Amino acid sequence: MPQSEQHHLVITALGVDRPGIVNTITRHVSSCGCNIEDSRLAMLGEEFTFIMLLSGSWSAITLIESTLPLKGAELELLIVMKRTRASARQPLPATVWVQVEVTDSPHIIERFTDLFDSHQMNIAELASRTQPTEDNQPPLLYIQITAHSPADQDASLIEQAFNRLCTELHAQGTIKAVSHHAG
């Protein structure tokens, strides 16, 4: 008997963080017969957001779509769901990881996202947080970015541009580029 077609659903849950809430959500997903293919969790203030890509049979995805709103209401969560299709992950010529520490000010994150955009790189992950400093100094901003290059390009170009931007912003930054080309 052929395997039934897999359906996919993206879910975002947003609410006040409390012990056990992620376990409750993942248990509900599993009880509906869905698999968590990819997920991210972030704490923002006192709120958490949990994003998941689920897969399952048509009936499993339909079951989670019909039961999760009630479970979300019980847990005082805002739930957003959207059906999607799984895309084959294409091999990418390069992956770039950066870490930055800089005095916080408006537009800093935008400057780094613009850098990747100008080099036609797709940002796959971005995490940032501010950290207060002692002696009434401005807070520090920590940024981590993972980006992929869909085009065949020399990674040294993004490295040079990144280093120039760090110098301009008086930022401490590291960059690591890994080429995925077949030898």
Q: What is the pLDDT of residue 74?
A: 94
- Mean pLDDT by 10-residue block, N- to C-terminus, for the chain (183 residues)? 77 92 93 93 89 96 96 95 81 83 94 93 90 87 89 78 96 88 49
Q: What is the pLDDT of residue 1?
A: 37
Residue 57 backbone class (left: φ over 0; alpha: ψ -120 to 50; beta: rest): beta
d(CA 43, CA 4): 36
Q: What is the pLDDT of residue 25?
A: 93
* 44 & 101 share domain: no
List for the chain the helix, strand, coil content (%; round to 5): 30, 40, 30
Q: What is the CATH number of the domain that holds 53?
A: 3.30.70.260
Is 121 within a domain? yes
* 100 & 174 share domain: yes
Q: What is the pLDDT of residue 83?
A: 96
Residue whose entry in the numeric block shows the structure tokens 């002696």: 135
The last residue of a domain, from among 84, 105, 133: 84
* 172 & 98 share domain: yes
* 119 & 137 share domain: yes
Q: What is the pLDDT of residue 12?
A: 96
Q: What is the pLDDT of residue 180?
A: 65
Domain that holds residue 75: 7-84
Residue whose entry in the numeric block shows the structure tokens 């509906």: 32
Q: What is the pLDDT of residue 6?
A: 93
Q: What is the pLDDT of residue 2?
A: 43
DSSP element (H, E) containing 59 = helix 58-74
